[in-house]
Structures are given as C-alpha cells and as structure tokens.
C-alpha cells in the first residue's frame, strides 16, 4: 500500500469522501471548511493510502501537534487527530501503514510521543490502537449544560 502526503490538487474529492465516512454528521460545507483549516496548520500533515492501480484512496490520517496529551511526558506532542480506512480494505494493513507513516513524520519533526483518542464506545478504534502499540492511559466522559 502506497502511503504519501495528501496532494490538495488531486486528492480533495477523495479526502472529502473519506471524511464523510468518519464524520457522517457534518455537511460538505463544514467538511470543506475544516479541510482548509487542516491544510493551513503549520504543525501537521495529512497522509493518504492510495489503492493499488488506482487514483482512489483507501484511507487517510491527519496528524497534528498539541501542547499536551493525557499520559504524555513531553510537550508538544504529535497527535493523531483523524484516522479512517474504507471498510472494504480494513484488516489488510492500511491503517498500520498510515500510522507507521505518521510515526515517521513525528520522529522527523522532533516529537518523541504520538498520542490519540477515540470515543469511549468505539471498540474497533480501541482494538486498532492497541494492536498498533498504543497504550490506553485514561477514560473520560464529558458533559455539557446549556445555560439560558
């Protein structure tokens, strides 16, 4: 599986499609706005897995930088912000290749830790992270109350 940096000139339609699979509750306008913001970030990148013999993508990963991440001892820390692999190519090494490329990017940019998160009930993501060497460090439930 070929993993490379996202090329905004040729990959935007496919990246949008993949983001729709990850965040199915967002509109195309919201996705496009967020994608522009991601591309403008100075500390981060979007990596894509290209399907063999095709220009279509099989998955993507957005790695960025945060000042702090739970369980980390350094600052700043590389942070796996978004990670999605098409269902038809899961369990074939695509996710592993994307994370390996993110790790290489992080090391090349001076980071010594890579952090991530998932929703508390996302068992597939939890299993994927653990299989790739991540260690669970904390669980939390967030609350919000609207103030009238």
pLDDT digits over 18-42, tens only?
999 999 898 999 999 999 999 999 8
pTM more than 0.75: yes
- What pLDDT score was predicted for residue 142? 80
- What pLDDT score was predicted for residue 65? 95
What ranges do the domains of the chain cover?
2-117
User: Could you give the CA distance from residue 104 to residue 52 in angstroms, rounded to a whole number?
Assistant: 22
- What pLDDT score was predicted for residue 55? 84
- What pLDDT score was predicted for residue 116? 95
- The DSSP bridge partners found for residue 4 are 48
- Bridge-based pairing of strands 44-50 and 2-5 is antiparallel
Give yes or no for a contact between 103 and 96, defined as CB atoms under 8 angstroms apart.
Answer: no
User: Could you give the CA distance from residue 132 to residue 29 in angstroms, rounded to a whole number?
Assistant: 33
Inter-helix orientation angle 8-22/28-40, to 10°: 120
- What pLDDT score was predicted for residue 33? 94
CATH superfamily of 2-117: Gcn5-related N-acetyltransferase (GNAT) (3.40.630.30)
Residue 26's Cβ-side half-sphere holds a number of Cα atoms within 13 Å equal to: 16
Which ranges of the chain have pLDDT less than 70? none
- What pLDDT score was predicted for residue 2? 92
């Amino acid at each position: 599986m070929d993993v490379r940096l996202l090329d905004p000139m040729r990959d935007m339609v496919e990246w949008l499609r993949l983001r729709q699979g990850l965040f199915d509750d967002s509109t195309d306008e919201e996705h496009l706005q967020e994608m522009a913001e991601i591309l403008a970030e100075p500390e981060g990148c979007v990596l894509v897995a290209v399907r063999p013999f095709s220009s279509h993508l099989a998955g993507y990963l957005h790695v960025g930088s945060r000042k702090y991440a739970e369980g980390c001892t350094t600052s700043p820390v590389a942070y796996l912000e978004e990670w999605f692999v098409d269902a038809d190519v899961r369990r074939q090494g695509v996710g592993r290749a994307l994370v390996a490329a993110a790790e290489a990017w992080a090391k090349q940019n001076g980071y010594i830790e890579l952090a991530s998160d998932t929703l508390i009930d996302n068992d597939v993501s939890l299993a994927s992270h653990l299989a790739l060497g991540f260690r669970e460090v904390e669980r939390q439930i967030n609350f919000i109350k609207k103030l009238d």
